[in-house]
Each structure stands twice: as C-alpha cells, then as structure tokens.
Amino acid sequence: MIFETLDTFGHEQVVFCHNKDAGLKAIIAIHNTVLGPALGGTRMWPYKSEDEALNDVLRLSRGMTYKNAVAGLDIGGGKAVIIGDPSTDKSEALFRAFGQFVESLGGRYITAEDVGIDVNDMEYVFKETEYVTGVHQVHGGSGDPSPFTAYGALQGLMATLQKKFGDEEVGKYSYAIQGLGHVGMEYVKLLRERGAKMFVTDINKSLVERAVTEFGAEAVAPDEIYDVNADVYSPCALGGTVNEQTLPRFKFKVICGSANNQLSTNAVGDEVAKRGILYAPDYAVNAGGVMNVALEITGYNRERAMRMMRTIYHNLTRIYEISERDGIPTYKAADRMAEERIAIMGKLKLPLGRAKPRFQGRIRGH
Ligand code: NAD
C-alpha cells in the first residue's frame, strides 16, 4: 500500500523515526533530491492517527519540491512531522533524538522550523546535527523570515500587475488584505510606502487598529473582505480562502498574497482563470521564507537574501509565459515550471552534495 502511494507521488524515501525513551514518533519524507538535498521544515502536531501524519508529510514534502524548484534553488523537497502536542509533549530528549535521525541521513534532508516548532527547539536539534536551518542568529541563522517573505511577495505582485495591467505601479491600485500578522503587516507597510489604497482585516482587532492608524488603511470586518471593491486580493492569513463560496463574491482582478494553499481545489483554480482573474501562484509568491533559510546552507548574508527576493519577479513572469504558451491556468503553469526545471537540471548537474559519487546514480534511479 505504502509503496503504491510513494509511486503515485514520486517520493524517494520515507523514514519512520522512533525512540521510546524520548517519546519520539516522527516521519521524515524525502520527495525529490534531483536539484539538491531535500529542505523543508519539521511540523509538530497532535495528529489523530498515523495515517493522518503520513498523508500530511507526503503532501507537504512534495509541495516543497515544487516550491524550491520554482524558487530557482539547488534544493530538493522534504518535510518532517513529529506526532505530539507542542504545548505538552516537547522535551530536550525528544528534539535531540529527532536530531540524531536527521544526522543519520547524512545531509539528504535538511530541516527547519514549521508549525509547532520554534527556534529554542531547533537549538536541541542543532546539538545533534548540522543539517538544520532556521537556528538562532548567534549560530549563523537567518532570523525571522517574514520581512523577506513580504518583500518577495511585493516582487511577485509587481510582476503580476505588469502582466495584468501592463505597468507595475503598485500605488495606482487598491488592495484587500486578509491577515495582518508577521507577513501581512510588513506587506501593508511596503504598499503604504508606495501610496496604495488598502482595505484590511484580521480577527485580531489590535492589529487592524495598527494598520489603520500607522499605515492609513481602511478596516473591514473579517467576512466582508471578499466583497471589497479592490483590484487585488492579498490573502496573508490562512489557506483555502479562494473557494466556491467566496469566489462568486470577488470583484478583484488579481489574487496575490503570502498565504499557503490559497485555492481550495484545482477546480476553483480553473474557475478563477475562467473569470479572467490573474492568480499569482502562492508558493512562487511566498518563496522568500525558504530562500532566506536556504542561504544558511552556503553562509547567510542579508544582501544576498534581498537580491534573491527580487528573483521572485522573474519567476512569476516565467510562470505567466508558460501559462500562455501552454494555454493552462497559472497554478498549473507553476507546477509545470518546477517539473521542467527538475527535468533539465537533473540531466545537467550532479545532485546530492553529501552522497558518495558511487551512490548518486542509484539514488537518482538511473
Ligand atoms: P501570522 O500567524 O503571524 O499571521 C496570520 C494572521 O492572520 C494573524 O494575525 C491572524 O490573526 C490572522 N487571521 C487568522 N485567521 C483569520 C481570518 N479568518 N480572517 C482574518 N485574519 C485572520 O502568520 P504569518 O507568518 O504572517 O504568515 C501568514 C501566511 O503566510 C500563512 O499562511 C503562512 O503559512 C504564509 N507564509 C509565511 C511565511 C513567513 O515567512 N512567515 C513564509 C511563507 C508563507
């Protein structure tokens, strides 16, 4: 059963990690290492069943392959999940035992923070393995990625405005922004600096107040954001907000924001395209976070990070070219761009920095 699933989604390796004394039950999924070692965060979550945990890690690791490929990184896709409640089940032993499993993979998988994990947990993982990103800045880590993600999203927005309206004057257009957290508030600040008209919402009222008083935005109630008469919808909160219920309410011409998994289904993505709304694929727009941590692998540097964020503009432009070339919606064009890059680069370069040369052909399935 499991090999059938791995065959369908194309995973290379799935590692079940168990340490009874440390209370560790974790799964590491390496989806694809053609472009380089698999990078993706570790999520800690009280999964109701092992199947649920396995499905999540398989889905998320595959997503990382596409995201890293479109971002232009020499990095493959992977992810890990730890089964447990982050508020009660964390311990030094748990994270050190997990770190030892990461180490045992010899660099085929490089981890980072994800939901339920913070920089202090990573300190323990880092004691057992070097294959960690997102560690504290005192260890050469890159720190909070959110300002970079917001700046990267702005680059994606400019490429999208250029495609839709033929210019990229951010301040000429109006925006409906959902979510004013780490990324959303920074994005609002960047739009404000460019003179944009903004409608904002968040379930946290104090954040809305800040956006209104500090950045001159107009507040709307959480459910009303979908009805706003604005050019651009920027989801910066949760996934799935472009769905069968919300889409008929849209007067927006563009969707571009930082949230993951914005489209509830592929059918909704097709409908978005049919309605002439230009969707900026989420994982290409919000790649700033992963670009930032990926730079830790070769030595983090803020200047390089900012330069790299600007490449998001070109990645989006390429996606729109593929969308036109092949007559497909943009969400499919992003996947195609990833698959094409993996296919071409896989023939050009030797992957798996850490693996001994004699193993490389085998692991790549040649
Ligand atoms: P965050 O938790 O700091 O902010 C999310 C905000 O959304 C919070 O203020 C929350 O109150 C608000 N929110 C939740 N539900 C809402 C609702 N129904 N209506 C309105 N507001 C709601 O998270 P973040 O780090 O800013 O990330 C935002 C999104 O971007 C997430 O989807 C995240 O996965 C994605 N993302 C973030 C990064 C990063 O660098 N932080 C990188 C890539 C992707």
Tens-place pLDDT, residues 231-282: 999 999 999 999 999 999 999 999 999 999 999 999 999 999 999 999 999 9
pLDDT of residue 354: 47
Q: Which residue blocks in 10-118 are alpha helix, DSSP H?
A: 50-70, 92-104
pLDDT of residue 2: 85
Tokens of 361: 């052909």
pLDDT of residue 249: 98
Q: Does the CB atom of residue 145 touch ligand 1 within 6 A?
A: yes
Q: Does the CB atom of residue 177 touch ligand 1 within 6 A?
A: no
pLDDT of residue 363: 43
Q: Does residue 319 sit in helix, strand or coil?
A: helix
Instruction: Select from 60, 148, 283, 286 the residue to mutate for testing ligand 1; criterion: most ligand atoms less than 8 Å from CB.
Output: 286
Do 305 and 291 meet the contact criterion of CB atoms below 8 Å apart? yes
Dist. CA 317–CA 323, nearest whole Å: 10
Beta bridge partners of 38: 76, 109
Q: Does the CB atom of residue 240 touch ligand 1 within 6 A?
A: no
Instruction: Select from 39, 133, 203 the residue to mutate for testing ligand 1; criterion: most ligand atoms less than 8 Å from CB.
Output: 203
Distance 287 CA to ligand 1 centre (A): 14
Tokens of 357: 């040369």
Q: Does the CB atom of residue 149 touch ligand 1 within 6 A?
A: yes
The Cβ of residue 212 has, within 10 Å, a number of other Cβ atoms equal to: 14
Distance 239 CA to ligand 1 centre (A): 9
Distance 260 CA to ligand 1 centre (A): 9
Query: Which atom belonging to ligand 1 lies closest to the Cα atom of 183?
Result: 26
Instruction: Record the pTM.
Output: 0.91
Q: Whose CA is nearest to atom 25 of ligand 1?
A: 182
CATH numbers and ranges of domains, the chain: 2-65+76-132 (3.40.50.10860), 146-335 (3.40.50.720)
**What is the helix (H) or strand (E) element at residue 185, kind and residue range?**
helix 182-193
Tens-place pLDDT, residues 107-152: 999 999 998 999 899 999 999 999 999 888 888 888 888 999 999 9
Q: Does the CB atom of residue 179 touch ligand 1 within 6 A?
A: yes
pLDDT of residue 353: 52
Place of tokens 């194309």: 10
Dist. CA 362–CA 349, nearest whole Å: 15
Collect the ranges in the chain with pLDDT lower than 50.
354-356, 358-366
**What is the helix (H) or strand (E) element at residue 166, kind and residue range?**
none
Catalytic residues: 79
Q: Does the CB atom of residue 286 touch ligand 1 within 6 A?
A: yes
Tokens of 256: 């571009």
Q: Does residue 55 sit in helix, strand or coil?
A: helix
Provide the pairing of β-strand 174-178 with 109-110.
unpaired
Report which of 252, 305, 339, 249 is spatially closest to residue 32, judged by C-alpha positions.
339
pLDDT of residue 299: 85
